[in-house]
């Protein structure tokens, strides 16, 4: 389960990053809605988001949402924060880095707990 959730999270987060790139390319506002729909990054981000959603439905049909969702969301926080740092040059403060470490510890705990209870 964890490997598929990692793939889904990566797809969903890549979709978010591509949507951000597309929004930046389109000028970052809705003053010209056509620019948003003509930006290839937005279309690619949307397609990856749909693929992630389809895989997510697969996971939800086979595993407890109370175990899968915290892993998905936690990895999302980590991935997007790191991508924002390396791709967009955003800074990561010490408290934010500590929060990421706590999130990663939580993901590990949730994962090992989900192995004990098994699929629904």
Q: What is the pLDDT of residue 118?
A: 59
What is the Cα Rg of the chain in Å? 16
Pairwise CA distance, residues 25 & 23, whole Å: 5
Pairwise CA distance, residues 71 & 106, whole Å: 8
At 43-75, the pLDDT tens digits run 999 999 999 999 999 999 998 888 889 889 999
Overall number of domains in the chain: 1
Among 19-23, 33-37, 45-49, which range has the highest average pLDDT?
Answer: 45-49
Q: How far is CA 57 from CA 43, 63, 69, 109, in A?
A: 21, 10, 12, 23
Is the predicted pLDDT of residue 119 greater than 70, yes or no?
no
> Can you give the residue range of the structural domain that contains 113?
2-117
């Amino acid at each position: 389960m964890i490997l598929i959730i990692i793939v889904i999270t990566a797809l969903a987060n890549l979709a978010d990053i591509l949507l951000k790139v597309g929004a930046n390319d389109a000028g970052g506002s809705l003053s010209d809605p056509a620019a948003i729909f003509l930006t290839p990054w937005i279309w690619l981000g949307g397609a990856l988001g749909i693929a992630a959603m389809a895989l997510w439905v697969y996971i939800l049909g086979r595993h407890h949402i109370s175990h899968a969702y915290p892993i998905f969301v936690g990895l999302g926080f980590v991935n997007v924060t790191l991508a924002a740092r390396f791709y967009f040059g955003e800074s990561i403060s010490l408290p934010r880095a500590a929060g990421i470490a706590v999130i990663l510890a939580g993901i590990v705990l949730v994962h090992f707990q989900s192995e004990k209870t098994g699929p629904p």
